[in-house]
Amino acid sequence: MYDVEEIRRDFPILDRRIDGKKLVYLDNAATSQKPRRVIQALTEYYEEHNANIHRGVHRLAEEATAAYEEARRKMARFLSAPDVRGLIFTRGTTEAINLVAHAWGRKFLREGDEIVLTEAEHHSNLVPWQLAARATGAKLRFIPILDDGTLDMEAAERLIGPRTRLVGCIHASNVLATINPVERLAELAHEAGALMLVDGAQSAPHLPVSVEALGCDFYACSGHKMLGPTGVGVLWGKPEVLEDMDPFLGGGEMIREVHLDHSTWNDLPYKFEAGTMNVAQAVGLGAAVDYLDELGMENVREHERRLGEYAYRRLSEIEGITLYGPSSDRTGLVSFSLPDVHPHDLSQLLDEEGVAIRSGHHCAQPLMRRLGVAATARASFYLYNTEEEVDALVGALQRAREFFGAFA
Ligand code: C6P
């Protein structure tokens, strides 16, 4: 049984009050809160096991290494990754995609090659490819979105062709709440002889994910959005693809042999983990994955689906509101705007009621241009949010509307 009140008790921060008001935390797409178990895993690691990994033979070094490698196995299982060698720890989604754009892009892209992305990408899956294109002469092409925020798949079929070397796409949108047909995009990419990269920053925390079922070659996600600490995330890649790539960063641990004039590379995944990694954070992410596994990602998805639907319906009752993205098949977030109110002013007013939402371009400026706005407000839900919190949001928005209406 999914008992949201019991779940909430695992998250100490949810008891916080903001100027005497109960915190209503609805900025989970930016970062999630952490259960006590994750916080304790970090404390326990530092109090009892802390050492550098893969280097020492003393007891602490062995314990720290075992804890780090156990976290890797947990994360690989969580993503149904067939081979743990393909699971690379990074600082997060951004670093994971930069790794691919450098280590694969700089090596394999040539003038005239094409990278196909979508109009709805987060800057993390756009700017690294702009840099790679500039360095190699490759070109970027973009799959448009339809007016309801879903991808124009007919255009995708036309755009992905013999010049395509890589297709990159967000699995779930941090603005539109769409869940993109990345399995189909992977098929199209592979038919064209290209690779498929999935930005999973907004899917790994919220949906059951199997990289095998998605059929992708790369999948990137961030620990801090899925109950884990900041500073750790994951790139999963097919080992045979990763083997062919150049290293990303050079330094300790990623080498096999170093001579004054050249070096050879360590085995996967260590070839891509240069220097001392975020060991404690990886261990914390392992604890987060345990927590999510125990809840069951199907149950998390169902809770958020229902809450997202409820929020969409309640918000659409507000006079004059614009809701972005499709009306069904959504993840648990809603972007919106109110007439004559800047989203920043709105979120500031909501903050005074203890309601935390995000406003801005959500690191998706091209998408904002496509939507014809500079910014939106966004409420994003997670496994511990409740219908009462949606009601609190709607009530606060109604009051904000009246407040700003008085000046219109
Ligand atoms: N989005 C938000 O929407 P990092 O910062 O590396 O952990 O994640 C980057 C990222 C990549 N892809 C998508 C689809 C994302 O949503 C994000 C992060 C946050 O509020 C911050 S802009």
Residues 134 and 195 in one domain: yes
Distance 351 CA to ligand 1 centre (A): 22
Q: Is 17 helix (H, G, I), strand (E, B) or coil?
A: strand
Residues 278 and 200 in one domain: yes
**pLDDT reading at 408 higher than 70:** no
In this predicted structure, what is the pLDDT of residue 1?
87
Using the atom order of ligand 1, give the atom closest to the CA of residue 222.
Answer: 7
- The CB of 359 under 6 Å from ligand 1? The reply is no
For 27-43, the pLDDT digits (tens) are 999 999 999 999 999 99
Distance 201 CA to ligand 1 centre (A): 6
Q: Is 50 helix (H, G, I), strand (E, B) or coil?
A: coil
- The CB of 150 under 6 Å from ligand 1? The reply is no
Confidence class of residue 406 from pLDDT cuts 50, 70 and 90? low
Residues 248 and 114 in one domain: yes
Last residue of a domain, one of 293, 321, 336: 293
Give the whole-angstrom CA distance, residue 70 versus residue 194.
33
Last residue of a domain, one of 278, 293, 308: 293
Distance 122 CA to ligand 1 centre (A): 7
- Write down the mean pLDDT value for the chain: 97
Confidence class of residue 404 from pLDDT cuts 50, 70 and 90? confident
Distance 308 CA to ligand 1 centre (A): 19
**pLDDT reading at 330 higher than 90:** yes
**pLDDT reading at 96 higher than 80:** yes
Residues 123 and 236 in one domain: yes
- The CB of 34 under 6 Å from ligand 1? The reply is no
Which residue type occupies 125? N
CATH number at residue 25: 3.90.1150.10
Residues 13 and 58 in one domain: no
Residues 339, 385 contacting (CB under 8 angstroms): no
Sign of the dihedral through C-alpha 258, 262, 264, 265:
positive
Residues 248 and 289 in one domain: yes
- Which is it for strands 233-237 and 218-222: parallel, antiparallel or unpaired? antiparallel
Q: Is 233 helix (H, G, I), strand (E, B) or coil?
A: strand
In this predicted structure, what is the pLDDT of residue 15?
98
**pLDDT reading at 340 higher than 90:** no
193 exposure class (CB count in 10 Å sphere: 0-12, 13-18, 19+): exposed
- The CB of 331 under 6 Å from ligand 1? The reply is no
Last residue of a domain, one of 268, 293, 318: 293
Using the atom order of ligand 1, give the atom closest to the CA of residue 95.
Answer: 6
Give the whole-angstrom CA distance, residue 23 versus residue 9.
14
Give the tokens for residue 60: 């602490």
Q: What's the total number of domains in the chain?
A: 2
Phi, psi of 301 (to 5 degrees): -60, -45
Residues 131 and 120 in one domain: yes
Mutate to test the pocket of ligand 1, among 124, 169, 225, 376 (most ligand atoms within 8 A of CB): 124
Using the atom order of ligand 1, give the atom closest to the CA of residue 225.
Answer: 7
169 is catalytic: no
Residues 44 and 178 in one domain: yes
In this predicted structure, what is the pLDDT of residue 109?
98
**pLDDT reading at 125 higher than 80:** yes
Residues 357 and 399 in one domain: yes
In this predicted structure, what is the pLDDT of residue 56?
81
- The CB of 206 under 6 Å from ligand 1? The reply is no
Q: State how far the alpha carbon of 229 is from the alpha carbons of 9, 223, 308, in Å.
A: 19, 6, 25
- Which is it for strands 164-170 and 195-199: parallel, antiparallel or unpaired? parallel
Task: Please give the model's pTM, rounded to 2 decimal places.
Answer: 0.98
- The CB of 91 under 6 Å from ligand 1? The reply is no
For 227-276, the pLDDT digits (tens) are 999 999 999 999 999 999 999 999 999 999 999 999 999 999 999 999 99
Residues 397 and 289 in one domain: no
Residues 21 and 69 in one domain: no
CATH number at residue 146: 3.40.640.10
Distance 84 CA to ligand 1 centre (A): 25
Q: Which domain holds residue 249?
A: 39-293
Cis bond upstream, residue 35 (ω within 30): no
Residues 277, 53 contacting (CB under 8 angstroms): yes
- The CB of 29 under 6 Å from ligand 1? The reply is yes
Average of per-residue pLDDT across 66-74: 98
Residues 171 and 215 in one domain: yes
State how far Cα 366 lies from the chain centre.
Answer: 18
Which ranges of 182-238 would DSSP assign to H, the alpha helix?
182-191, 211-214
